[in-house]
Structure 1
């Protein structure tokens, strides 16, 4: 097991969730897309929003896909506290 596996297992136990229902790669890919294409602090907020939506019955993979697509089309000038021409991954 990895540290991530251990963490997810422990966090799921704490919250009464089944770790088998948690798609870590889906959440990490979504967070990466938002962090790199919108802004870094948006990544954990978006992961939380995904969780709220899933808790209300949304399909996790489809919802993550919609949010990743939104991040991919996000205009740089709207998602920026960074100077023009700077690396969006920073």
Structure 2
């Protein structure tokens, strides 16, 4: 069985996100790590690797204006747009 690199020593992504959410007063339940990583992968492969951090920043700005129930559809719309990028 392969170990999850997000939980490797010094790279515990869930713990980092827990800490970051607490520090920035963000509701941790709104952060779906796997969904964001999947979206990041799609953007990296369909658009370009450098587009990932900027796309995620724009997604975060858009998500901040939404009701939490609208975040999933927002991410789906961004993923669909990235998949159609040529």
Bigger relative contact order (CA 8 A; separation at least 6): 1
What TM-score, normalized to structure 2?
0.80
Specify which structure has the higher proportion of helix.
2
Segments of 4+ moved more than 3 angstroms: none
1:30-69 paired onto structure 2 within 5 Å: 30-57=39-66, 59-69=70-80
Does structure 1 residue 73 correspond to structure 2 residue 84?
Answer: yes
Measured on the aligned residues, the alpha-carbon RMSD in Å equals 1.1
- Pairs aligned (count): 74
Separation in 2 of the partners of 1:50 and 1:57?
A: 11
- Among candidates 12, 21, 34, match of residue 25 of structure 1: 34
TM-score, scaled to structure 1: 0.76
* Structure (1/2) with the larger strand percentage: 2
Which residues of structure 2 form unaligned runs of 5+?
A: 1-6
Q: Which has the larger radius of gyration?
A: 1
Gapped runs of 5+ residues in structure 1?
Answer: 76-90
